[in-house]
């Protein structure tokens, strides 16, 4: 994740507990780390990272608690790249019943253009709860959204204008909630009839406040892309992008490839390696040709751009080490440099 100057930081939950951080140099593409931050043996292996317009970062995780609250949602903040972080702070659990609290979903966080932090979790009964922290730092109460039979894997995207768009796969379709303007209320859009596999939804802004959503088809496992039509616009069916050999959600970014603005997709193959593809943004009809890099990858990979606009790819290998590669400046197509293991 880049800071205001384009300096990158990578985060992961450590295998021995706590948060592990790697930080890019301010003057070069060298990295420092791993640093063990905020030791906490009760953390579960999940992390959601939300960045504010000012460059502040909030990291949300799940922590095992006591008998009355078996799992609680916690967060820590970093206000400058490479600097110390705040401690873990709890925002509790939307459930008061211990059995339901133990089954709460993983938090997904986003920061809108007004600096408000929105946290979303799937409830134990298939609903969705949200909690909001205003610009003054005050948390509101947990609020239930009118949804049912929602599957794990909520996706929240923030556009460059600061508008949040929420995408929630369910057993019989998909829910879409969106802000019409930054800082506004989250309003429900018409439900979609498509069925996504649990834990596979993701999304990215593809053009001027327009979001492209991605997921895996529930039957075939194929990656598809879809954009919610504008009011009065034509609804186009999800576009197929192959990727059947992958699993879980995609990592997404955009970068220039041979002078074209392209959307880049990365996935973890079922064999445990990283595969990538790219196509001209919003031109899914061009198709997707996936290339297996053979680089070991556990969990979900990460994509972003560096201060020069080049694509950066990061994965965690089976040994728990971070591996990073970036787009070659002198190469044609989506050519990557040699992997750097940190």
pLDDT of amino acid 331? 75
pLDDT of amino acid 33? 83
User: Which tokens in the block code for residue 267?
Assistant: 């996935």
Q: Could you tell me the maximum CA-CA distance found in the chain, to the nearest angstrom?
A: 58
Separation in Å, CA 197 to CA 90, 129, 151, 154, 202: 30, 21, 8, 11, 12
pLDDT of amino acid 2? 61
pLDDT of amino acid 1? 54
**Rounded-to-integer distance, Cα 234 and Cα 228, Å:** 9
Q: Nearest-CA neighbor of 64 among 75, 74, 54?
A: 74
pLDDT of amino acid 5? 66
pLDDT of amino acid 39? 87
pLDDT of amino acid 27? 80
Calculate the dihedral angle through the C-alpha atoms of 286, 287, 291, 292, rounding to the nearest 10 degrees: 160
pTM (2 d.p.): 0.94
DSSP, residue by residue, 203-254: EEEEETTEEEEEEEBTTT--EEEE-PPPTTPPP-PPEE---TTEEEEEEEEE
pLDDT of the chain along its 342 residues, tens only? 566 567 899 999 988 888 999 999 888 888 998 999 888 889 999 999 999 888 889 999 999 988 788 999 999 999 887 788 999 999 999 999 999 999 999 999 999 999 999 999 999 999 999 999 998 889 999 999 999 999 999 999 999 999 999 999 999 999 999 998 888 889 999 999 999 999 999 999 998 889 999 999 999 999 999 999 877 778 889 999 999 999 999 999 999 999 999 999 999 999 999 999 999 999 999 999 999 999 999 999 999 999 899 999 999 999 999 999 999 988 788 999 999 999
């Amino acid at each position: 994740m880049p800071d205001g100057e384009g300096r990158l930081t990578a985060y992961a939950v450590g295998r021995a507990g706590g948060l592990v951080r790697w930080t890019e140099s301010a003057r070069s593409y060298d990295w420092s780390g791993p640093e063990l931050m905020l030791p906490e043996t009760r953390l579960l292996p999940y992390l959601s990272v939300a960045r504010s317009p000012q460059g502040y970062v909030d990291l949300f995780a799940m922590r095992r608690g006591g008998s009355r609250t078996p799992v609680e949602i916690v967060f820590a903040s970093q206000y400058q790249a490479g600097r110390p972080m705040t401690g873990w702070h709890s925002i509790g659990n939307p459930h008061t019943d211990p059995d339901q609290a133990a089954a709460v979903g993983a938090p997904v966080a986003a920061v809108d253009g007004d600096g408000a932090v929105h946290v979303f979790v799937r409830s134990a009964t298939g609903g969705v709860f949200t909690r909001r922290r205003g610009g003054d730092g005050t948390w509101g109460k947990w609020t239930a959204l009118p949804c049912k039979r929602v599957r794990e894997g909520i996706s929240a995207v923030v556009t460059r204008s600061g508008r949040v768009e929420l995408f929630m796969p369910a057993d019989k379709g998909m829910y879409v909630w969106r802000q019409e303007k930054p800082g506004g209320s989250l309003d429900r859009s018409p439900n979609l009839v498509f069925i996504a596999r649990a834990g596979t939804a993701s999304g990215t802004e593809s053009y001027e406040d327009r979001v492209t959503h991605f997921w895996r088809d529930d039957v075939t496992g194929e990656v598809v892309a879809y954009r919610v039509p504008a009011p009065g616009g034509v609804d186009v069916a999800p576009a197929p992008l192959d990727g059947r050999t992958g699993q879980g959600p995609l990592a997404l970014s955009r970068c220039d490839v041979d002078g074209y603005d392209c959307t880049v997709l990365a996935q973890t193959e079922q064999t445990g390696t990283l595969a990538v593809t790219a196509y001209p943004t919003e031109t899914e009809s061009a198709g997707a040709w996936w290339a297996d890099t053979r680089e070991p990858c556990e969990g979900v990979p990460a994509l972003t751009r560096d201060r020069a606009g080049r694509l950066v790819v990061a994965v965690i290998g089976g040994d728990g080490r971070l591996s990073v590669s970036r787009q070659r400046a002198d190469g044609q197509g989506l050519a990557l440099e040699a992997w750097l293991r940190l």
